[in-house]
């Protein structure tokens, strides 16, 4: 045991260890680096004892910079409050840790200037690779970074950026949702999505919705965006005569939350007056009425795969750009059971 305080330990240097062990500073450097085998057992034991007695903690960042490696991975997210982003981030961080890397996360809060500043900050940290889950409005900066390091996109495409991408198979997920609603007897479907802001996954889901509705004559489909008038728009949808039982299809968890609030405000009988299916599967879904039917995304796998793509590039893989599209999993709850035909 030693009586060094935390403050004292933070001031202990490699030279202090060398003097305490009566060895050279170069020997200490070899011991904490990759050349420990070059030291005799006696010298290694003295250094190990000195480190323990002094409470020395090597500066891993300084070592990494000196050797040209920091083992830092950057991740840029558009909205850290989004449950999807949090879940994917957890998958990335877990995979990083398993391979000896650390994750540096920057939240742009959907602000272009924040995105620019964070890109500069991540570069200053000498990250070895970057995972991007933002709008990517600063394409030139991203292209420049991509020339310096591997880069993987999650969920959202960036125009003219040729990079590996990991996300959901959106067309298949939309098809799964509509097939389920039709099977359950719903005929009038309202897609609720967040406003278009260039997010490719939203655009892809809406396009798929329109295409699949055209292929299903039994269904009628319309579209609304979340916003201050959502409650009024839902009331109009519910009050307007349609082709049969009505259902909402929420394009993500945020749209599902907004829609649930609006339905409560309209004092609907959940889920007798209207059915509901939502992309994403959030913890609160089973708690609403008889539970919300969900299309669960494998967020942990998406995050882990994004890092694994990055790791392959870091290890020299220069093959063609790859796209990994994961399948959603249908979880049926009471929100799509009330209008069976």
- Matching residue, tokens 């990335």: 92
What is the C-alpha separation between 58 and 73, in angstroms, rounded?
20
Tens of pLDDT, residues 10-35: 578 888 999 999 999 889 888 876 57
The crossing angle, in degrees rounded to 10, of helices 200-214 and 170-183 is 40
Give percent of the chain with pLDDT exceeding 70: 92
Q: Are 142 and 86 in contact (CB under 8 A)?
A: no
What is the average pLDDT across 48-65? 73
pLDDT over 70 at 5, yes or no: no
Cβ atoms of residues 325 and 168 within 8 Å: yes
SS3 133: strand
DSSP 89-102: HHHHHHHHHHTT-E
Whole-prediction pTM value? Answer: 0.80
Peptide bond before 271: cis, by omega within 30 degrees of 0? yes
What's the first-to-final CA gap in the chain, in angstroms? 74
Give Dmax over CA atoms of the chain in angstroms.
89
| Mean pLDDT computed over every residue of the chain | 89
- The partner residues of 132 in beta bridges, in order of sequence, read 76, 153
pLDDT in tens, 205-251: 999 999 999 999 999 999 999 999 999 999 999 999 988 999 999 99
**Does residue 172 register a pLDDT over 90?**
yes
């Amino acid at each position: 045991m030693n009586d060094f305080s935390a403050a004292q330990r933070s001031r202990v240097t490699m030279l202090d260890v060398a003097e305490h062990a009566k060895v050279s500073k170069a020997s200490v450097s070899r011991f904490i680096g990759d050349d420990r085998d070059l030291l005799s057992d006696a010298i290694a034991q003295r250094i190990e004892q000195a480190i323990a007695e002094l409470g020395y903690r090597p500066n891993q960042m300084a070592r990494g910079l000196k050797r040209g490696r920091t083992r830092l991975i950057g991740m840029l997210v558009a909205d850290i409050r989004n449950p999807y982003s949090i879940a994917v981030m957890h998958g990335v961080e877990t995979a990083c840790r398993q391979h000896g890397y650390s994750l540096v996360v920057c939240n742009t809060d959907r602000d272009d200037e924040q995105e620019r500043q964070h890109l500069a900050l991540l570069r200053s940290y000498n990250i070895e690779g970057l995972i991007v889950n933002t709008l990517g409005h600063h394409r030139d900066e991203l292209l420049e970074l991509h020339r310096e390091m591997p880069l993987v996109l999650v969920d959202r495409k960036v125009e003219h950026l040729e990079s590996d991408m990991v996300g959901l198979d959106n067309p298949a997920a939309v098809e799964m949702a509509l097939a389920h609603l039709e099977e359950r007897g719903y005929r009038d479907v309202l897609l609720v999505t967040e406003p278009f802001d260039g997010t490719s996954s939203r655009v892809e889901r809406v396009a798929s919705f329109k295409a699949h509705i055209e292929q299903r004559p039994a269904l009628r489909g319309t579209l609304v965006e979340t916003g201050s008038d959502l409650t009024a728009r839902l009331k109009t949808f519910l009050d307007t005569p349609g082709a049969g039982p009505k259902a909402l299809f929420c394009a993500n968890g945020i749209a599902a939350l907004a829609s649930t609030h609006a339905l409560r405000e309209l004092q609907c009988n959940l889920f007798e007056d209207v059915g509901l299916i939502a992309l994403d599967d959030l913890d609160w879904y089973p708690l609403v009425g008889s539970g919300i039917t969900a299309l669960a995304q494998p967020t942990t796998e998406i995050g882990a795969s994004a890092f694994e793509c990055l790791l392959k590039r870091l290890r020299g893989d220069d093959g063609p750009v790859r796209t990994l599209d994961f399948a959603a999993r249908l979880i049926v709850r009471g929100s799509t059971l009330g209008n069976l035909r």
